[in-house]
């Protein structure tokens, strides 16, 4: 049975001081609570040590927003999966649309990052999703298929238990606009069918597929109630302990 994963993507927000405060609020709220869901925060690199420190003793995990797919060496400005692990992270977002757009990350490069994370026991969260014009022209499924298959082609079925996908329609990110529950469910089911084609139905049934794009307490319940929506990758609403916790509570209450 799939668990929900409620993941906060802090993006370039909450430096060491603010990040520590936000983590301390989450820690005060959740303490030693035993979750039915998986909970994760992905702060900027510099805030990770303080956040990991504050969250020790809770079940909330920490992850990164990006990494470079080599062990070490002359890659100025980059961070490797071994460093991520040493810092206490167990998840890594890969291929977020902001990285695809502002840093020209290609499907091939993203595939390397996902593979490297899996090889080093870090759970990657692969982000896929179409832009507004691609949805308007009816190409949304084709875009997502290409983004997903570019990565799946480099993986094998054994990776299924640690591989997470986030469907994030670009037009819904940070815009306040959300995919309707029906649009989300349709794409999530499609993503699961693509994984099933590459691997097996059983393997694909275990992959957590998150929805991202203006998820907030007001719309979380209807999105998370969809059969193939297994959680959320949450930007804006994860920057306040209150709203992030409300979404966690909704997922907890929907969990069997
Ligand atoms: P948002 O961001 O919740 O602010 O729309 C989601 C994301 O980009 O991961």
Distance CA 233, CA 95 (A): 13
> Which one of 3.40.710.10, 2.70.160.11, 3.20.20.70, 3.40.630.10 gives the CATH number of domain 5-69+76-254?
3.20.20.70
Strand partners for 123? 91
Residue 176 has pLDDT above 90, yes or no: no
> What is the whole-number distance in angstroms between the Cα of residue 73 and the centre of ligand 1?
32
E runs forming strands in 49-179: 61-64, 91-94, 123-128, 164-167
Backbone angles phi, psi at 61, to 5 degrees: -95, 165
* Least trusted range by pLDDT, from 64-78, 79-93, 175-189, 218-232: 175-189
Kindly tell me if the per-residue pLDDT of 247 is higher than 80. yes
Q: Considering Cα of 131, then 154, then 89, then 229, what sign does the dihedral take?
A: positive
pTM for the full predicted model:
0.97
- Which residue out of 96, 140, 159, 188 is catalytically annotated? 96
pLDDT of residue 74: 98
For the chain, domain boundaries:
5-69+76-254
| Cα–Cα distance for residue pair 178/217, rounded to 1 Å | 12
* Active-site entry in 98, 105, 130, 168: 168
Ligand 1 centroid – CA 94 distance (Å): 14
Average pLDDT, the chain: 96
């Amino acid at each position: 049975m799939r668990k929900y994963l409620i993941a906060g993507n802090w993006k370039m927000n909450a430096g060491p001081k603010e990040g520590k405060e936000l983590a301390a609020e989450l820690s005060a709220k959740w303490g030693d609570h035993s979750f039915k869901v998986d909970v994760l925060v992905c702060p900027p690199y510099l805030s990770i040590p303080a956040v990991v420190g504050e969250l020790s003793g809770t079940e909330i995990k920490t992850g990164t927003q990006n990494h470079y797919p080599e062990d070490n060496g002359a890659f100025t400005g980059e961070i490797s999966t071994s460093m991520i692990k040493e810092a206490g992270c167990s998840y890594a977002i890969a291929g977020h649309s902001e990285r695809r757009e502002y840093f020209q990350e290609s499907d091939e490069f993203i595939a390397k990052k996902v593979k490297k994370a899996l090889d080093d026991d870090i759970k990657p969260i692969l982000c896929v999703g179409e832009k507004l014009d691609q949805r308007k022209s009816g190409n949304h499924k084709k875009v997502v298929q290409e983004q997903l298959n570019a990565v799946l082609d480099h993986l094998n079925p054994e990776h299924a238990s640690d591989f997470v996908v986030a469907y994030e329609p670009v037009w819904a990110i940070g815009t306040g606009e959300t995919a309707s529950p029906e649009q989300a469910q349709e794409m999530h089911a499609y993503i699961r069918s693509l994984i099933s084609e590459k691997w097996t139905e059983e393997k694909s049934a275990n992959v957590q597929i998150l929805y991202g794009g203006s998820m907030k307490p007001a719309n979380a319940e209807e999105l998370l109630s969809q059969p193939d929506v297994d959680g959320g990758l949450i930007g804006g609403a994860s920057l306040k302990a209150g709203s992030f916790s409300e979404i966690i509570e909704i997922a907890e209450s929907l969990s069997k």
